[in-house]
Amino acid sequence: MQIAIVLYDRFTALDAVGPYETLGRVPGAETVFVAEQAGPVRNDSGNLALTADRSLADVPHPDIIVVPGGPGPLPLAADGPLLTWLRTADATSTWTTSVCTGSLLLAAAGLLKGRRATSHWLALEELERHGVEPTGERVVTDGKYVTAAGVSSGIDMGLMLLGRIAGDDHAQIVQLATEYDPQPPYDAGSPEKAPAHLVELVRTHSGVILT
């Protein structure tokens, strides 16, 4: 089994590394980071680079596709090599997945038309504009398409899908080994839970605050 995690300029690191540390633990699977060209790829803040060990062309038919998000507007949503690759790879994939605004790339490639999916809470309206039915759930499965909400939700998505593929025991082993027993010091992880003035602040100034 081959798992391809897609990197592109200005991706969000935790979107990629969350599923990597969970879903990437499918026994016997080969996990490979891919990008249009092999080599280091810079993230949204520019101070982190993850290496794409293979080019998209080198990995045409992964069994599982993982597409992380990045702060919008996503420069690569314009039709180009990444969307072309996504369509081709999706034609033979067993699972096609995304974290955060990665679902906008899947949608832009035409893969989520008429399906239920999710994204970062700030991107749900844009998802709808692509003909997708957005939901506020943290992880959404519709057929072979599994989409996760913002950034950190890729960990939950990765564990869920790992359980589907490798069994509940194995997924729990990975949860235990990564000591994923979350104890956030605040309860502000969704727009429903965070103080209203902070939700408004992020809604209007997210780009300024976070990069």
Residues of this chain that bind a second copy (CB under 8 A): 12-14, 17-18, 20-21, 24-25, 30-33, 40, 45, 47-51, 53, 100, 120-121, 138-139, 149-153, 155-156, 159-160, 163, 168-169, 171-186, 188-191, 193-195, 198-199, 201-202, 206, 209-210
Whether 4 and 38 have beta carbons less than 8 Å apart is answered as no
Q: Quick check: helix, strand or coil at residue 65?
A: strand
Measure the CA–CA gap between 23 and 121, rounded to whole angstroms. Answer: 23
Whether 127 and 136 have beta carbons less than 8 Å apart is answered as no
Helix and strand numbers (H, E) in the chain are: 7, 11
CB of 25 to a second copy, least distance (A): 6
CB nearer to a second copy: give 110 or 191: 191
**What residue type is assigned to position 177 of the chain?**
A
CB of 132 to a second copy, least distance (A): 18
CB of 117 to a second copy, least distance (A): 15
Q: What is the Cβ-side half-sphere exposure of residue 121, based on CA atoms within 13 angstroms?
A: 16
CB nearer to a second copy: give 65 or 139: 139
CB nearer to a second copy: give 37 or 84: 37
Query: Is 100 marked active-site?
Result: yes
CB of 36 to a second copy, least distance (A): 17
CB nearer to a second copy: give 55 or 206: 206
Q: Quick check: helix, strand or coil at residue 206?
A: helix
Measure the CA–CA gap between 155 and 44, rounded to whole angstroms. Answer: 19
Helix (H), strand (E) at residue 88: helix 81-92
Annotated catalytic residue: which of 34, 41, 100, 104? 100
User: Which residues have a catalytic role annotated?
Assistant: 100
